[in-house]
Amino acid sequence: MTSIEAVQGDITTERVDAIVNAANSTLLGGGGVDGAIHAAAGPRLLEACRRLRRTDWPDGLPVGEAAATDAFDLPCRWVIHTVGPNAHRGQTAPALLTSCFTRSLDVASGLGAASIAFPAISAGAYGWDAADVARIAIEAVRSHLAPGVDLVRFVLFGSRLLDAFDHALSRPAD
């Protein structure tokens, strides 16, 4: 049975097996949590992302997909990069955001990760409403089977996002 929790904090300090990065399709870094993860992981993370672009994802990582690298100077073992839907580009279909969580869980399960931390994907620069992100994230994790993953932790940077996730967690599963 997977336990699901929401905490306030900085995902770069999480001591879980894998943390998820709210990346963009280039996989070459950015601001927000992407910038924080690259800064904390060190330059080898960008080299690993460039390798992903040269090999598996030459045209970039599509919205809703996920791909893993080592975590280098971070306290976790892997970084799972996913690309959230961008509301400013009209990418507002919930299924796109659901896919970020379910594909990241699939990748984590494939790696043998037992614990994973997610940020509030798309709730920052990509303009999605916090309550919608929380509802979609919790529903996706509750309903998606990820063999071997027994802890999912949502790590929220501020109290507003934490409140949104606490509220979504308090609602009974559909």
- Of 35 and 43, CB closest to ligand APR: 35
Q: Which residues between 86 and 105 bind ligand APR (CB under 6 A)?
A: none
Asked if 126 interacts with ligand APR (CB under 6 A), we say: yes
Residue position matching structure tokens 């690298």: 69
Indicate if the alpha-carbon torsion angle 118, 120, 124, 127 is positive or negative.
Answer: positive
Site string for ligand APR, 102-121 (x = CB under 6 A): -----------------xxx
- For ligand APR, the binding residue among 2, 4, 7, 30 (CB under 6 A) is 30
How many CA within 13 A on the CB side of residue 87?
13
- Of 34 and 106, CB closest to ligand APR: 34
Catalytic residue among 10, 17, 34, 129: 34
Query: Residue 25 has which token pair?
Result: 């399709």
In the chain, the amino acid numbered 135 is: R
CB of 63 to ligand APR, least distance (A): 10
In angstroms, the CA 162 to CA 95 distance is: 22
Residue position matching structure tokens 């699939």: 106
Q: Known catalytic residue: 150?
A: no
In angstroms, the CA 118 to CA 121 distance is: 8
Asked if 125 interacts with ligand APR (CB under 6 A), we say: yes
> 106 and 147 in contact (C-beta within 8 Å)?
no
Q: Which residues between 50 and 89 bind ligand APR (CB under 6 A)?
A: 84
- For ligand APR, the binding residue among 10, 47, 70, 73 (CB under 6 A) is 10
How far, rounded to the nearest angstrom, does the alpha carbon of residue 41 sit from its chain's CA centroid? Answer: 16
In the chain, the amino acid numbered 26 is: T
Task: Point out the residues that are catalytic.
Answer: 34
Binding residues vs ligand APR (CB under 6 A): 10-12, 22-24, 30-36, 84, 119-126, 155, 157, 161
